[in-house]
Structure 1
């Protein structure tokens, strides 16, 4: 059950992260980061680790975008 919740949280954060890849919308990643971390924590509590891994991939996408944009853009 917690794995499904983690996947849903990952999908919600992915919906925020995808438009944030557009230049000048990178600030949206800052809103997605706490949601992604919550998904990782919930996924860690689950017996399976699919949801946690999905949230880690979304976190990687957001972190790379923030790094390329200098943290703001």
Structure 2
């Protein structure tokens, strides 16, 4: 059950990430990171790894986008 919740949170974070990839909307990734982190924590409490891995990938994509846009470092 927790894996399903983690996947749903991850899909919402993925939607925010897709919006954040649009030029001039990279600031959305700052809101996506805490959502994906919450999904990651829920995924860690689960027996399966699917939700955890989804949220990790989404966080990496968001952090890379922030680095390319000058939001981090």
Quote the residue 1:24 is aligned against.
24
Quote the residue 2:45 is aligned against.
45
Gaps of 5+ in 1: none
Using structure 1 for the length normalisation, give the TM-score: 0.95
Paired residues, number: 72
The secondary structure found in structure 1 opposite 2:33 is: helix
* Runs of 4+ with deviation above 2 angstroms: none
Gaps of 5+ in 2: none
Q: CA RMSD in A?
A: 1.0
Using structure 2 for the length normalisation, give the TM-score: 0.95
